[in-house]
């Protein structure tokens, strides 16, 4: 089983979309192993977006992600990184297909409701940034045999 980090960004939290986003992943059959509401402090935001440090939008991204609470989640499942990314749609909501989270709920490339890890290796790094091992819960869903044969 693979794991991925998903953040419901400040715009998603402020617009009351937490239940909608969580529900989409649950209905898809993904397994939730970590969840918390938090404010992303500047240092964490800079570590999380470090790969963009030299880009002109870096400061705006840091300011945005730390402007209001986010919901941080860890989801588990086979090929969960690519599955979550396809459910989210492209970064720019204008290019995201209807049925994707960003296609249905996003309005602007800078405020596109969700973040998801882009590779299994990056997912491991991002999960470690946002969650301690003690915050991740291993548990069995009673109906797992109906989702993962």
**Residues 28, 41: Cα–Cα separation, whole Å:** 31
Q: Name the percent of the chain lying above pLDDT 90.
A: 93
* Percent helix, strand and coil across the chain, each to the nearest 5: 45, 20, 35
Choice between 136 and 147, residue whose per-residue pLDDT is larger: 136
Residue 14 in any domain: the answer is: yes
Provide the H-helix boundaries in the chain. Answer: 10-14, 18-28, 42-48, 58-65, 80-88, 101-105, 120-130, 144-147
48 catalytically annotated: no
Residue 43 in any domain: the answer is: yes
pLDDT score of 128 more than 90? yes
Give the pLDDT band (50/70/90) at residue 147: confident
pLDDT of the residue at 36: 98
Q: DSSP secondary-structure letter at 26?
A: H
- CA-nearest of 76, 105, 103 to 11 is 105
- Please give the residue range of the domain that contains residue 45: 2-137
Residue 142 in any domain: the answer is: no
**Residues 98, 90: Cα–Cα separation, whole Å:** 11
Residue 130 in any domain: the answer is: yes
* pLDDT (tens digit per residue) in 26-54: 999 999 999 999 999 999 999 999 999 99
Q: Do 30 and 76 form a contact (C-beta atoms < 8 A)?
A: yes
Q: How many domains does the chain have?
A: 1
pTM value > 0.85: yes
Residue 146 in any domain: the answer is: no
Residue 148 in any domain: the answer is: no
pLDDT score of 108 more than 80? yes
**Residue 123 maps to which CATH number?**
3.30.70.141
Residue 147 in any domain: the answer is: no
Q: Mean pLDDT in the chain? A: 96
Residue 149 in any domain: the answer is: no
**Residues 50, 122: Cα–Cα separation, whole Å:** 12
């Amino acid at each position: 089983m693979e794991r991925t980090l998903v953040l419901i960004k400040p715009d998603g939290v402020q617009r009351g979309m937490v239940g909608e986003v969580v529900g989409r992943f649950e209905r898809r059959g993904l397994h939730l192993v970590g969840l918390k509401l938090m404010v992303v402090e500047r240092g964490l935001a800079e570590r999380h977006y470090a790969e963009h440090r030299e880009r002109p939008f870096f400061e705006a991204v840091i300011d945005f992600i730390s402007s209001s609470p986010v919901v941080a989640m860890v989801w588990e499942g086979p090929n969960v990184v690519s599955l979550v990314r396809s459910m989210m749609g492209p970064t720019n909501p204008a290019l995201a297909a209807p049925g994707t989270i960003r296609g249905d709920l996003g309005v602007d490339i800078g405020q596109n409701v969700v973040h998801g890890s882009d590779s299994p290796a990056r997912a491991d790094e991002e999960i470690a940034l946002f969650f301690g091992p003690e915050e991740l819960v291993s548990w069995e869903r009673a109906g797992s045999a109906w989702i993962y044969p």
